[in-house]
């Protein structure tokens, strides 16, 4: 995406969706405000409705084994 650099992208544990991890700066706006803005961006740019359950910052996010996971090169071991 041209506006949000992908840190990690993988198929959700249910296999019905994607988990998209992006870096955000919460020094000026809250996680909730970012979530709403990004969800609206995804809806209007890609015509995809984001699962609102993901906006709870304390919600667990399980990292499944997914051989097609995208991981930004800065997080990959040398």
Pairing of strands 6-11, 18-22: antiparallel
Annotated domain spans of the chain: 6-75
Q: Tens digit of pLDDT for each residue in 26-73?
A: 898 999 999 999 999 999 999 999 998 888 888 878 777 788 888 888
Banded model confidence at residue 75, pLDDT cuts 50, 70, 90: confident
Containing 75, the helix (H) or strand (E) segment is none
pLDDT for 56 equals 85
For the question of whether the overall pTM of this predicted structure is more than 0.85, the answer is no
pLDDT for 67 equals 87
Residue 6 above 60 pLDDT?
yes
| Sign of the alpha-carbon dihedral angle for 63, 65, 68, 70 | positive
pLDDT for 41 equals 95
């Amino acid at each position: 995406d041209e506006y949000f650099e992908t840190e990690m992208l993988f198929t959700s544990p249910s296999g019905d969706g994607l988990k998209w991890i992006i870096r955000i700066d919460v020094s000026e706006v809250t996680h909730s405000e970012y979530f709403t803005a990004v969800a609206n961006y995804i809806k209007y740019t890609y015509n995809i409705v984001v699962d609102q359950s993901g906006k709870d910052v304390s919600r667990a996010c399980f990292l499944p084994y997914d051989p097609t996971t995208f991981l930004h090169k800065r997080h990959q071991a040398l």
